[in-house]
Structure formats: structure tokens, C-alpha cells
Amino acid sequence: MRKVLIAFVLLLGVLLVIFSFSEIENIVKTLKHSDWRFWGLALVVELIWLYNLATSFRALYRLMGIKEDSRHLFWVASAANFINVVAPSAGIGGMALFLDDAKRRNHPTGHVTVVGALFVLYDYCAFLCVLALGWVVLIRRNNLNAGEITASFILLGLAIGLTLLLYLGYKSGDALGRALMGLVRLINRLFNPFIHRPYLSEESARRYAFEISDSLMTIKGKRREMIWPFLFALNNKALLLIILALSFLTYQVPFTAGTLVAGLSIAYLFVIVSPTPAGLGFVEGALTIALNAMRVPLGSAAVITLTYRAVTFWFPLAVGALALRHLHISRKPDGQVEVQDRESIQG
């Protein structure tokens, strides 16, 4: 069964490549006319970005009192990213891999769940800092439109909602339990016309709330340790800025710091709030239009966008597929990596 699940996830990855073949074909044609030195350097920076991602998780694990190796987390985080893209489930698939890995390595699953929530929160907060600068650039150039404003407020709402849930859990397991049960009831009402049964278990949500609340007590009094994950999250965005700059240099297109910040703001914003996996399709269109509005020629904006997405989307996706295979092969004889299905998370 475990081998079937791994094969199914990899099959979804193949299908994603097939359905996106036209974009991949355009990327290949574009890269043939690029300066491979800058493009190769961008791939190196993306590998550093992936390792920085693993280091971010390691800092959060340490915050929760868990000792883990960055190299192992590199494989787990990469594989989780792959699952989240090819099998979109609001992050449940990737979180399931982290939880299964925690069980296999005897880590408290409640602690790892909190790690996942804190990682998202730190990522949103770091990006909001970049987005604020991006807004300044777009307003000064009179390029801020309703789409970006709406997406920005959606992101802000997500960050505030996650912060409130974590605060409730920190203060009281009962309060978090009531909040989660309310969300579960809302989700069940939305899904009931389609599946005619409860989609999520209220009792499981309540038990999970107390487990998370207990885990949040671990970070009490660790204010200094809480700074490091935020710094790693900021470093994550700085590396993406470098990759975007290298995408410009690949085609010898001039740019300014403002163009980079505004471009990254638009690209990453639609990675988060778009309905497709990692903003597939939406990011390509929005970034091309945004760069063109900032006086980058349309043809140059298109090839820069394709190159940026090749490095930041397709390359990590390939690494994630290898990571999933690596975790499956390198499992211990007495404990295999199992990608849990949604029902196991729902209790």
C-alpha cells in the first residue's frame, strides 16, 4: 500500500508535467538563448534556498525542543513541497509527510504540527515586510491595481487568522478547541452537499487542539530563539530576490532594486493566494504584466518570468520528486516512510 501511494504521488507529478508541457517547451526554447552562466548560478542559489528552507525547519524544531538534522529536513521539506504541488490539499499532504516522519523518528506529532503552523506564520510575516516595500514601489510608479490590493488583504487575513489560532492555543486548549470545532462545522456544511457525510471529525479537532496547546507551552520564555526562524524566513525572500536579479542578467535586461522588490512581491503574492498549485499559470501572467508595467519590454518580461519560474518552481519540483524517492528508499527496515492519506489526518 505504501509503495502504491508513493507511485500515485509520482504519477500526479508526471501528469502535472504533461498538462504543463507547453509552458515547459517555452521555457526550454527561452533558455537556449540565455547566458547559461547566470542561469546556472540561479540554480545554485535555488539549492541554497532549499537548504535555507531546511535550516528554517531545524530552527523551529529546536524551538520546540526537537533535535533534527538539516540534511534530513532538506529531503523531507523538498518532498513535502512536491506533494503539496502535485496533490493540492491546502498543505495537508505535505504536513502528513512531516507527521509521518515525526512518528518514524519518535518526535511528538503535536510539536511538529506547531512547527508547520509557525513556519507558515513566519513565512507570511517575512513576506509581508517585502510586500510593504513592493506596495511603496508600485504606488510611486502608479502601478498598484485592484487585483494586487485584494490578494494582499487576503494574505493579511490569513496571517491574522493563523496568529489568532496560535494565540488561542497558547492561552487555552479549550479556546482553541472551540475555534477549531467551529471551523470544522463550517467546512462540513460546505462539503455536505457533495459527500453527504461529515468531512472532518469534530472530536478529533478537539483532541488535536489540546495536543497543540500543550506543544505551544514548549516555546514559553524562548523569545530569543523565536527570532532565528524569522531571520531565516527573511533570508528566504532575499535569495528569491537574487534569483529574480539573475533572471534579468541572464538576458542582459537592465533593472532597478525597486523593480526587483515589486516583481517579487507580485510573484510570491500569487504563489500564496492563487487557486492553482504554487500559483501555476497565475504567477506567470501576473509577473509578466507587472514587469511590463514597470517599463520592462513585454518580450523581455515574458522570458524573465519563464526563467524565474523554471528555477523557483520546476527545479524544486524535480528535487522534490527525487527527495520523495530518497525517503522511500532510505527508510529503516523497521519503519517506512508512509505518505498518509487525508483520512488519517482527519482522525
Query: DSSP string spanning 20-62?
Result: THHHHHHHHHHHTTS-HHHHHHHHHHHHHHHHHHHHHHHHHHH
User: 319: closest CA among 57, 95, 3, 85?
Assistant: 85
Backbone torsions φ then ψ of 332, nearest 5 degrees: -75, 155
CA neighbours within 13 Å on the CB side: how many for 102? 23
Query: Which band of pLDDT confidence, cut at 50, 70 and 90, is reported for residue 276?
Result: confident
pTM for this structure? 0.81
Nearest to 101 by CA among 78, 123, 72, 121: 72
Average model confidence (pLDDT) for the chain?
A: 83
Q: How many CB atoms lie within 10 A of CB 208?
A: 20
Q: What 3-state class would DSSP assign to 191?
A: helix
**φ, ψ for residue 335, nearest 5 deg:** -165, 115
Residue 53: closest CA among 126, 105, 129? 126
pLDDT tens by residue, 253-265: 899 999 999 999 9
Residue 267 has a pLDDT of 92
> What is the residue whose three cell numbers read 506567470?
284
pLDDT band at 188 (very low <50, low <70, confident <90, very high): confident
As a whole number of angstroms, the distance between CA 240 and CA 157 comes to 24
Q: Quick one: cell of 99?
A: 507527521
pLDDT band at 91 (very low <50, low <70, confident <90, very high): low
Amino acid at 231: L
- pLDDT, tens digit, for every residue of 19-60? 555 656 666 666 666 678 898 999 999 999 999 999 999 999
Compute the average pLDDT of residues 313-327: 89
Report the phi/psi class of residue 254: left, alpha or beta, with left for phi > 0 and alpha for psi in -120 to 50.
beta
pLDDT of the residue at 27: 62
pLDDT confidence bin for 127, thresholds 50/70/90 = very high
Q: Among residues 312, 342, 325, which one has the least CA distance to residue 48?
A: 312
Tell me the pLDDT tens digit for each residue of 231-252.
Answer: 999 999 999 999 999 999 998 8
Span 156-171, average pLDDT: 88
Segment 309-312 long-range contacts (CB within 8 Å, at least 24 positions apart): 309/27, 309/283, 309/284, 310/27, 310/31, 311/39, 311/42, 311/43, 311/45, 311/46, 311/243, 311/247, 312/46, 312/49, 312/240, 312/243
More confident of the two residues 18 and 72: 72
pLDDT attached to residue 315: 93
**Which residues sit opposite 335 in a β-bridge?**
332
pLDDT at 299: 81
d(CA 278, CA 81): 9
Q: At a CB cut-off of 8 Å and minimum separation 6, what does 161 contact?
A: none
CB 155 within 8 A of CB 131: yes
Q: Return d(Cα 79, Cα 157) in angstroms, integer.
A: 28
Cell of 58: 531545524
